[in-house]
């Protein structure tokens, strides 16, 4: 009886933390740039806070923004700094970045109480180091650019490089949320057995371990494997060596970005060649450059690809791709920030729910 009451108490506590209502919703201004209106609309509906602001482009390509009245209010601007490709056309990453910058400037110039950027995908994060003379560290320069706009904090999802968080000054807290929580919930519902979580390279081992631990919290057994890649050029994999056992197992590759898709297709082929009975690919950011949609849809060794909606997806082209939403995660983050509650609570709550 005591154990039952303890479990019940944990559940009620978690429910209270996760579902804490917004206080003084009229003090929130929720703004969306044009980069991912679909995700912004979902967040708006779940928060029950209307979207404000608008942007339009002049004939010469200049963007004009209007965010309305924000004086003494909390402003949350939702914008992945990505290249968006839809059925109606394409918008380059630099255009989306400039729109975000101008909206942040408008919020500060409008005397907003606080300006928080919700940036599901942080572009330029892969340019995080100086590789040769004359090369800029673009991730650091973009961080400085956004700081100049007067932002107070920034929320990201699975930022590609940990260095990026350090490129912002200590006065601008960077909150990095993890899509592993979303993937783990989906995998649990599928009832897969004999799971091996695979990192596509040495740099992603920590991400694979995190997903594995979330599965373990739900009493799902797993093992780990990794691929050691040899590149002949940036984005071009010459060969890949598997470390770990995938024979007769469901191999789940987890990565933060899928660009052209070629690297993940080759990784899946190596796993199948080593006896994996099923290959599932989980990717947070579906960048999908060039002919990526066809590359993935035609990949015989990938049984399913799961991505999130941090970047808009061309639904008509995604025949083998399942889309999961990070909206719940971002809604919770906004709730906790607005209610002055630590973000860490939402992760602890999700871990406790997994254990139950």
Q: With DSSP H G I counted as helix, E B as strand and the rest as coil, what are the percentages for the chain, rounded to 5?
A: 40, 25, 35
CA–CA distance from 3 to each of 17, 349, 354 (Å)? Answer: 21, 19, 17
End-to-end alpha carbon distance in the chain: 16
Cα distances from 245 to residues 45, 207, 212, 228, 282, in angstroms, run 44, 18, 15, 14, 19
Euclidean distance between CA atoms 7 and 349, whole angstroms: 13
Cα–Cα distance, 38 to 227 (Å, whole number):
35
* Beta pairing class for 278-286 and 222-233: unpaired
CA distances from 267 to 63, 109, 248, 254, 274 (A): 41, 48, 16, 11, 11
Is 277 annotated in the active site? Answer: no
Is 211 strand, coil or helix?
Answer: helix
Cross-strand bridge partners of residue 279 = 251
Of the candidates 113, 229, 277, 320, the residue annotated as catalytic is: 229
Catalytic machinery residues: 229
């Amino acid at each position: 009886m005591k154990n039952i009451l303890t479990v019940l108490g944990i559940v009620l506590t978690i429910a209270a933390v996760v579902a804490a209502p917004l206080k003084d919703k009229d003090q929130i201004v929720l703004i969306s740039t044009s980069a991912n209106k679909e995700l912004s609309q979902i967040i708006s509906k779940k928060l029950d806070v209307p979207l404000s602001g608008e942007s339009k482009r002049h004939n010469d390509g200049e963007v004009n923004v209007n965010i309305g009245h924000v004086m003494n209010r909390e402003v949350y601007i939702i914008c992945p700094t990505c290249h968006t490709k839809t059925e109606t056309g394409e918008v380059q990453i630099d255009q989306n970045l400039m729109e975000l910058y101008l909206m942040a400037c408008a919020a500060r110039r409008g005397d907003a109480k606080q300006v928080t950027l919700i940036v599901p995908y942080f572009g330029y994060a892969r340019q995080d180091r100086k590789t040769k003379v004359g090369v800029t560290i673009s991730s650091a320069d973009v961080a400085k650019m956004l700081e100049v706009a007067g932002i107070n904090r920034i929320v990201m999802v699975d930022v590609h490089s940990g260095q990026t968080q350090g490129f912002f000054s200590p006065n601008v807290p960077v909150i990095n949320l993890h899509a592993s929580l979303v993937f783990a919930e989906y995998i649990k519902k599928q009832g897969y057995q004999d799971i091996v979580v695979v990192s596509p390279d040495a740099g992603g081992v920590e991400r694979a371990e995190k997903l594995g631990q979330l599965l373990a919290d739900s009493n799902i057994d797993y093992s780990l494997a990794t691929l050691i890649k040899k590149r002949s050029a940036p984005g071009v994999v010459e060969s890949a060596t598997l470390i770990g056992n995938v024979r007769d197992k469901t191999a789940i590759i987890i990565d933060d970005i899928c660009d052209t898709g070629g690297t993940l297709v080759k990784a899946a082929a190596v796993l199948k060649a080593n006896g994996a009975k099923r290959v599932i690919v989980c990717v947070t950011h579906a960048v999908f450059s060039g002919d990526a949609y066809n590359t993935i849809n035609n990949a015989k060794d990938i049984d399913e690809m799961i991505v999130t909606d941090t970047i808009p997806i061309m639904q008509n082209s995604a025949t083998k791709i399942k889309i999961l939403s990070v909206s719940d995660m971002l809604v919770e983050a906004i709730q906790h920030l607005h209610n002055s509650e630590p973000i860490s609570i939402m992760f602890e709550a999700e871990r406790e729910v997994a254990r139950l």
